[in-house]
């Protein structure tokens, strides 16, 4: 159904002409029209799921039409089906590349899914295709959004070009934008001032300080003009931007004048006062830093950010460090503002006193424990301590160097026998794992296990076993499980047998691995019946007992008939088929999953990887793996996962790119994966990186990567069972 036919459907809903012509429509066209009209009606009533179903049927009945798909892009975005929205938008653009509205929507969707590079490409193409004279409002929106994407991509030159175009549209086509374009005169001026301000920041990033200052002054003039925006406070904010541009230009005296104008607003933020200290030093006035900060603090006694900056400056010198600590201590009882605590933590780390941060964190958890144990801490103290622990944890998660210093101090405490709260050890383990220090994470989690109260034992053992798996240490996993079976009374034995079985399989102890699997099956509750049986199938796969794994999965397909259960079982069955070299059957199982769940990340990844590994359907392979990466990235973002990507999926994507001879792109991706804790411990990642480097004729890098793979494969069942260890040794003989 063409767009014209869809337009006909809209006319039918308005009024019937006296003598309507009889269109020569097929039954499919008529059905599509009816369903499209029904979808519009349901959408207007906010019945989004029903509307989406109607549009899906319309799109199926008339596959040439783009109108139902365009509606689906909007509805899928509203109902949490972003990958479906992306597919619909891409289909629209394949049929009509000049549909800039859909391209704009696709760019936003891709950005939300973490596909920044592709989002930039789509937005740039759409922005270039819009004629500002015909659609100034769309040209403006696309240019400003493109500028935002390029800012996120750390491309200030690109952002400058996009924002310059947005500024030009606002100036040249103002008459069209105001009222007809949906903007009031004030809104147009605000947009122009904001665009000039952002343009100035992009220019500062490129050290084009004169042009940046001109852009900031233009925004300043708009805010300061009584006939335009008449917003003195916003104009004063522009003094802040001008001070940055002038400081970067090497004119600290002028920067100081503008900064002082801004500071008259008494900003409740740390950055202006940090800049004051920096500009004073740049202007040859280091002795004026502390007096100037004291004046601002005295003039605004409740301004904790300026007090935090003052304390940090006092902490620089040993002679005034005691005064700094007194001020830090007072601030600490009043605020959990992340920006204030950031100054405190940074100062303690920079002055080689990370234990002060550790003491602060431990004190917060002690307060929480006292309350939980029925102590005397008041509710307000409890809430304050909980927030303190949260903010400190967030700061340390965001700053690897700070976390490293605090974790090292904790390890020293542990060696010295100093006691800390269970929660402190646990959080330090989480931080160590987050920043790739899996060795220290193991140490912290072992201590957490040793000090865990009964009700926290599941979390303690779970964290320890997880980080041991990430470190690829099956022997240590087995030891932790056996220790748990002996000592833990807050964890069900089935949990330990579940992990023990797989660890023993990795170690090659087949009889004990299967026995542990059977014990887990016997001990598990009803809610885990399928999970423990699938674990046994996984154990059989590790042992290379493919036929037994296949037979077990087939029995489970008969026993568990819920759609979600069958999907889980098919996925494990496909893995067993791959191992048994029954590729057609493995592919069939994965395609069955994708027929009902096209965004199943595991199925997309595995099918794409194996297609590429066999040199088949490489276009489809890349689409599948990219879909897996996008779906997984979205799920991680929604769940709050600290790691944005699954290293195994990125490795699969790199392997597809390798097979497609996109070698530089594959290398960049594999080097990124190998720098993550999980990727660094994965022999296959290093093996693939060696292959890519060898093809790029970088034999020293290939040798180093293959040597790393050879060192890791002996502890990985794939190294022995699949012959990969011997294969990588053969490769090494090619690069002596």
Predicted local confidence at residue 24, as pLDDT? 57
Task: Give yes or no for a contact between 338 and 397, defined as CB atoms under 8 angstroms apart.
Answer: no
Lowest-confidence region among 73-82, 308-317, 515-524 = 73-82
Note the pLDDT tens digit of each residue in 102-129: 999 999 999 988 888 899 999 999 999 9
Return mean pLDDT, the chain: 89
Predicted local confidence at residue 574, as pLDDT? 96
Query: What's the mean pLDDT in 163-186?
Result: 90
Note the pLDDT tens digit of each residue in 22-53: 455 566 666 667 777 777 787 777 788 888 88
CA distance 362 to 700: 47
CA distance 259 to 241: 9
Query: What's the mean pLDDT in 633-656?
Result: 86
Q: Which two tokens stand for residue 6?
A: 């869809």
Could you tell me which residues are beta bridge partners of residue 178?
183
Sign of the CA dihedral running 657, 660, 665, 666: positive
- 351-354: long-range contacts (C-beta < 8 A, 24 or more apart)? 351/315, 351/316, 351/321, 354/402, 354/405, 354/406, 354/408, 354/409
- 432-438: long-range contacts (C-beta < 8 A, 24 or more apart)? 432/403, 432/407, 433/467, 433/470, 433/677, 434/397, 434/403, 434/642, 435/400, 435/403, 435/404, 435/407, 436/400, 436/676, 436/677, 436/680, 437/404, 437/407, 438/467, 438/470, 438/471, 438/677, 438/681
| Percent of the chain whose predicted confidence (pLDDT) is above 70 | 94
Query: What's the mean pLDDT in 536-546?
Result: 95
Classify 133 as helix, strand or coil: coil
Predicted local confidence at residue 32, as pLDDT? 67
Q: Which of 573, 666, 576, 581 is nearest to 618 (CA)?
A: 666
Note the pLDDT tens digit of each residue in 610-632: 999 999 999 999 999 999 998 89
Res 3 pLDDT > 70: no
DSSP H helices in 304-378:
304-315, 321-332, 338-350, 354-372
φ, ψ for residue 178 (rounded to 5)?
Answer: -80, 125
Predicted local confidence at residue 718, as pLDDT? 79
Q: Which of 96, 169, 173, 97 is nearest to 139 (CA)?
A: 169
Most confident of the ranges 374-388, 576-590, 722-736:
576-590
Q: Give the model's confidence band at 15: pLDDT under 50 very low, under 70 low, under 90 confident, else very high.
A: very low
Cα 395 to Cα 80, 256, 387, 423, 442: the distances in Å are 30, 30, 12, 17, 21
Classify 183 as helix, strand or coil: strand
CA distance 728 to 691: 10
Task: Give yes or no for a contact between 574 and 589, defined as CB atoms under 8 angstroms apart.
Answer: yes
Task: Report how far Cα 477 is from the mean position of its chain's Cα atoms.
Answer: 29
Classify 418 as helix, strand or coil: coil
Q: Output the DSSP codes for 646-711.
A: -HHHHHHHHHHHHHTT-HHHHHHHHHHHHTSHHHHT-HHHHHHHHHHHHHTT-HHHHHHHHHHHHH
CATH architecture of 184-265: Alpha Horseshoe (1.25)
Predicted local confidence at residue 29, as pLDDT? 61
Predicted local confidence at residue 372, as pLDDT? 55
Query: What's the mean pLDDT in 635-664?
Result: 88
Task: Give yes or no for a contact between 663 and 692, defined as CB atoms under 8 angstroms apart.
Answer: yes
Tally of CA atoms within 13 A in the half-sphere of 431 that contains its CB: 30
CA distance 102 to 96: 10
Pick left, alpha or beta for residue 644 (phi over 0 → left; psi -120 to 50 → alpha; otherwise beta): alpha
Note the pLDDT tens digit of each residue in 330-371: 999 999 999 999 999 999 999 999 999 999 999 999 998 876
The count of other CB atoms within 10 Å of the CB of residue 564 is 10
Predicted local confidence at residue 703, as pLDDT? 95
Query: What's the mean pLDDT in 371-397?
Result: 82
Q: Give the model's confidence band at 733: pLDDT under 50 very low, under 70 low, under 90 confident, else very high.
A: very high
Cα 576 to Cα 538, 543, 545: the distances in Å are 8, 11, 9
Predicted local confidence at residue 20, as pLDDT? 52
Q: Which two tokens stand for residue 108?
A: 């936003």
Residues sharing a CB contact under 8 Å with residue 463, sequence separation 6 or more, in sequence order: 426, 429, 430, 445, 448
Predicted local confidence at residue 28, as pLDDT? 62
- 590-596: long-range contacts (C-beta < 8 A, 24 or more apart)? 593/567, 596/563, 596/567
Res 14 pLDDT > 50: no
Res 404 pLDDT > 60: yes
Note the pLDDT tens digit of each residue in 587-617: 999 999 999 998 899 999 999 999 999 999 9
Predicted local confidence at residue 11, as pLDDT? 33
CA distance 353 to 220: 43
Predicted local confidence at residue 235, as pLDDT? 83
Q: Which two tokens stand for residue 282?
A: 């740049």
Task: Give yes or no for a contact between 476 and 504, defined as CB atoms under 8 angstroms apart.
Answer: no
Query: What's the mean pLDDT in 408-423?
Result: 91
CA distance 152 to 148: 6
CA distance 28 to 15: 23
CA distance 379 to 110: 44
Predicted local confidence at residue 31, as pLDDT? 65
Note the pLDDT tens digit of each residue in 135-151: 999 999 999 999 999 99
- 45-51: long-range contacts (C-beta < 8 A, 24 or more apart)? 48/75, 48/78, 48/79, 49/79, 51/75
Burial of 118 (0-12, 13-18, 19+ CB in 10 A): middle
What 8-state DSSP symbol labels residue 208?
Answer: -
Query: What's the mean pLDDT in 566-573?
Result: 96
Classify 46 as helix, strand or coil: coil
CA distance 156 to 733: 46
φ, ψ for residue 183 (rounded to 5)?
Answer: -110, 145
Task: Give yes or no for a contact between 247 and 230, defined as CB atoms under 8 angstroms apart.
Answer: no
Classify 617 as helix, strand or coil: coil
**HEC string for 57-91:** HHHHHCCCCCHHHHHHHHHHHHCCCHHHHHHHHHH
The count of other CB atoms within 10 Å of the CB of residue 298 is 9
Res 565 pLDDT > 50: yes
Predicted local confidence at residue 692, as pLDDT? 96
- 555-562: long-range contacts (C-beta < 8 A, 24 or more apart)? 556/530, 560/529, 560/530
Res 19 pLDDT > 80: no
Predicted local confidence at residue 715, as pLDDT? 80
């Amino acid at each position: 159904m063409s767009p014209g036919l869809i337009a006909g459907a809209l006319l039918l809903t308005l009024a019937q002409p006296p003598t309507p012509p009889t269109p020569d429509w097929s039954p499919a066209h008529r059905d599509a029209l009816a369903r499209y009209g029904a979808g519009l009606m349901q959408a207007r009533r906010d019945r989004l799921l029903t509307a989406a179903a109607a549009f899906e049927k319309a799109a199926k009945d008339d596959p040439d039409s783009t109108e139902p798909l365009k509606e689906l892009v909007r509805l899928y975005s509203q109902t949490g089906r972003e990958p479906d929205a992306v597919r619909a938008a891409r289909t629209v653009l394949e049929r009509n590349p000049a549909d800039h509205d859909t391209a704009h929507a696709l760019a936003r969707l891709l950005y939300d899914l973490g596909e920044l590079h592709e989002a930039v490409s789509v937005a740039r193409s759409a922005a270039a295709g819009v004629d500002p004279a015909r659609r100034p409002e769309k040209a403006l929106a696309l240019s400003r959004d493109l500028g935002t994407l390029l800012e996120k991509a750390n491309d200030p030159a690109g952002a400058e070009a996009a924002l310059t175009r947005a500024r030009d549209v606002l100036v040249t086509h103002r008459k069209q934008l105001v009222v007809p374009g949906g903007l009031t005169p004030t809104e147009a001026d605000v947009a122009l001032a904001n665009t000039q301000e952002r343009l100035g920041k992009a220019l500062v990033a490129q050290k084009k300080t004169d042009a940046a200052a001109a852009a900031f002054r233009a925004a300043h003039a708009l805010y300061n003009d009584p006939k335009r925006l008449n917003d003195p406070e916003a104009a004063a904010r522009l003094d802040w931007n001008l001070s940055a541009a002038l400081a970067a230009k090497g004119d600290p005296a002028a920067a100081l004048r503008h900064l002082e104008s801004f500071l008259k607003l008494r900003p409740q933020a740390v950055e202006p006062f940090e800049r004051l200290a920096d500009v004073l030093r740049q202007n040859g006035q280091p002795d004026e830093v502390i007096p100037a900060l004291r004046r601002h603090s005295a003039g605004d006694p409740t301004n904790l950010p300026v007090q935090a900056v003052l304390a940090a400056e006092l902490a620089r010198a040993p002679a005034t460090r005691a005064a700094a600590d007194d001020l830090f201590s007072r601030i600490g009882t009043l605020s959990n503002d992340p920006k204030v605590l950031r100054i405190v933590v940074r100062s303690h780390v920079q002055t080689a006193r990370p234990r002060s941060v550790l003491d602060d964190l431990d004190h917060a958890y002690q307060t929480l424990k006292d309350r939980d144990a029925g102590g005397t801490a008041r509710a307000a103290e409890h809430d304050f301590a909980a927030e303190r622990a949260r903010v400190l944890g967030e700061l340390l998660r965001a700053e690897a160097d700070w976390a490293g210093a605090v974790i090292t101090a904790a390890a020293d405490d542990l060696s010295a026998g100093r006691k800390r709260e269970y929660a402190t050890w646990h959080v330090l383990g989480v931080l160590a794992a987050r920043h790739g220090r899996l060795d220290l994470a193991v140490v912290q989690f072992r201590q957490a296990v040793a000090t865990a109260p009964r009700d926290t034992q599941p979390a303690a053992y779970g964290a320890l076993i997880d980080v041991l798996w990430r470190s690829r240490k099956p022997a240590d996993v087995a030891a932790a499980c056996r220790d748990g079976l002996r000592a833990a009374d807050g964890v069900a034995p089935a949990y330990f047998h579940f992990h023990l079985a797989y660890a023993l399989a990795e170690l090659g102890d087949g009889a004990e691995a299967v026995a542990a699997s059977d014990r887990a099956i016997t001990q598990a509750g009803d809610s885990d019946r399928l999970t423990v049986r699938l674990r046994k199938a996984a154990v059989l796969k590790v042992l290379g007992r493919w036929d037994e794994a296949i037979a077990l999965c087939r029995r489970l397909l008969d026993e568990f008939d819920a759609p979600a259960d069958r999907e889980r079982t098919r996925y494990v069955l496909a893995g067993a088929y791959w191992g048994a070299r029954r590729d057609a059957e493995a592919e069939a199982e994965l395609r069955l999953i994708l027929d009902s769940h096209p965004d199943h990340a595991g199925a997309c990844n595995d099918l794409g990887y194996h297609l590429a590994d066999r040199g088949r359907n490489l276009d489809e392979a890349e689409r599948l793996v990219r879909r897996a990466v996008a779906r997984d990235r979205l799920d991680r973002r929604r769940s709050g996962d600290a790691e944005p990507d699954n290293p195994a999926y990125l490795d699969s994507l790199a392997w597809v790119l390798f097979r497609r001879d996109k070698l530089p792109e594959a290398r960049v991706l594999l080097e990124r994966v190998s720098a993550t804790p999980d990727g660094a411990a994965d022999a296959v990642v290093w093996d693939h990186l060696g292959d890519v480097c060898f093809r790029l004729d970088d034999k020293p890098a290939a040798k180093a990567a293959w040597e790393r793979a050879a060192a890791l494969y002996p502890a990985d069942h794939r190294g022995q069972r699949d012959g990969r260890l011997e294969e990588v040794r053969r490769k090494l003989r090619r690069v002596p």
